[in-house]
């Protein structure tokens, strides 16, 4: 295995709509690197507008991987991504010892940088049933179920995140063992050194940027994209902000205006959860979102040269 001191993975994190994509492209150009996307919804080719996939000119500006490379009908999870991303990085490091990773999905970032706990394969019907219960009985029902089956996990995870609750429950139900018993096992060593860059702004600025992005998505025909996916609304890939709210509109539960306001509100909540997750890593180097690119490049170069 190549020594980790020879390879560097620069990872860009931060809340949604903060400017991670633009920074990743600037850094990729400077370091002549490729970009690994670890946004857990940009994998899906049917979901372009609502997941803020980079524009065509942005995708051309640097080589991107793991964008629109899967279908919503594929059975693809964070464990699969960990294996695929590490394999791709092994290839890329042969060409350039510095590579870029970007995304707002904290679990997917940690999967690549630190490794995942091992969980056995679970029958897909269990997740399907849990998603159905989420739609029919709401999140509180699932939260109470998790509290009964695995109190330790109930107290540890982002309990208002339906994907996290469903993931923990499917393990509890599918293995008849608490999700928490599979956590914190020894992980495989990585063959790269991680340099983590975070972008931040005042809360009011983040919220304003989120609101503008949602308005732009609506202007770019997000309703049409969501309408085409409505019949598949129970699929796991579609249990995400920007689509759930519009599905409720199509079902007659929301007005269009209320659905859009809910997208903005839930995206703001998501951004808050992202920051809570990423701030746990004390090694992340944080920059204001308007920081000059040369300042960031200098800091990264100093870190690399210091190893």
Binding region for substrate: 16-21
Whether residue 10 contacts residue 300, with contact meaning beta carbons closer than 8 Å, is answered with yes
State pLDDT tens for residues 282-293: 999 999 999 999
Q: Which of 205, 230, 199, 192 is nearest to 299 (CA)?
A: 199
Binding region for ATP: 14-21
Whether residue 131 contacts residue 166, with contact meaning beta carbons closer than 8 Å, is answered with yes
Q: Tell me the domains of the chain and their CATH numbers.
A: 4-116+187-305 (3.40.50.300), 124-182 (1.10.20.140)
Binding region: 14-21
State pLDDT tens for residues 48-91: 999 999 999 999 999 999 999 999 999 888 889 999 999 999 99
DSSP bridge partners of 70: 44
Whether residue 287 contacts residue 296, with contact meaning beta carbons closer than 8 Å, is answered with yes
What confidence score (pLDDT) does residue 3 get?
A: 44
Q: Which of 90, 88, 81 is nearest to 63 (CA)?
A: 88
What confidence score (pLDDT) does residue 112 get?
A: 96
Distance (Å, whole) CA 189 – CA 192:
9
Residue ranges for the chain with pLDDT beneath 50:
1-3
């Amino acid at each position: 295995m190549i020594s980790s001191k020879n390879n560097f993975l620069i990872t860009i994190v931060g809340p949604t709509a903060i400017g991670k994509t633009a920074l990743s492209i600037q850094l990729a150009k400077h370091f002549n690197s490729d970009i690994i996307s670890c946004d857990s919804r940009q994998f899906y080719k049917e979901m372009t507008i609502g997941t803020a996939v980079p524009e065509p000119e942005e995708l051309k500006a640097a080589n991107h991987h793991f964008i629109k490379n899967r279908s919503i009908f594929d059975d693809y999870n964070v464990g699969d991504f960990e294996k695929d991303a590490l394999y791709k990085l092994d290839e890329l490091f042969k060409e350039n010892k510095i590579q870029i990773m970007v995304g707002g999905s904290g679990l997917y970032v940690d999967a690549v940088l630190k490794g995942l706990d091992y969980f056995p394969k679970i029958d897909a019907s269990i997740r399907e049933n849990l998603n159905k219960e989420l739609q029919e009985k709401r999140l509180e029902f699932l939260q109470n179920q998790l509290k009964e089956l695995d109190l330790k996990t109930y107290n540890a995870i982002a309990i208002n995140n339906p994907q996290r609750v469903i993931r923990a429950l499917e393990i509890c139900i599918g293995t008849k063992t608490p999700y928490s018993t599979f956590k914190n096992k020894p992980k495989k060593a990585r063959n790269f050194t991680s340099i983590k860059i975070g972008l931040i702004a005042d809360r009011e600025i983040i919220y304003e940027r989120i609101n503008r992005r949602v308005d732009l998505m609506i202007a770019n025909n997000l309703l049409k994209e969501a309408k085409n996916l409505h019949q598949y609304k129970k699929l796991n890939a579609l249990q995400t902000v920007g689509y759930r709210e519009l599905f409720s509109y199509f079902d007659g539960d929301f007005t269009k205006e209320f659905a859009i306001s809910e997208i903005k509100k839930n995206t703001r909540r998501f951004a808050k959860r992202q920051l809570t997750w990423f701030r746990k890593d004390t090694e992340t180097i944080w920059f204001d979102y308007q920081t000059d690119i040369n300042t960031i490049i200098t800091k990264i170069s100093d870190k690399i040269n210091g190893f």
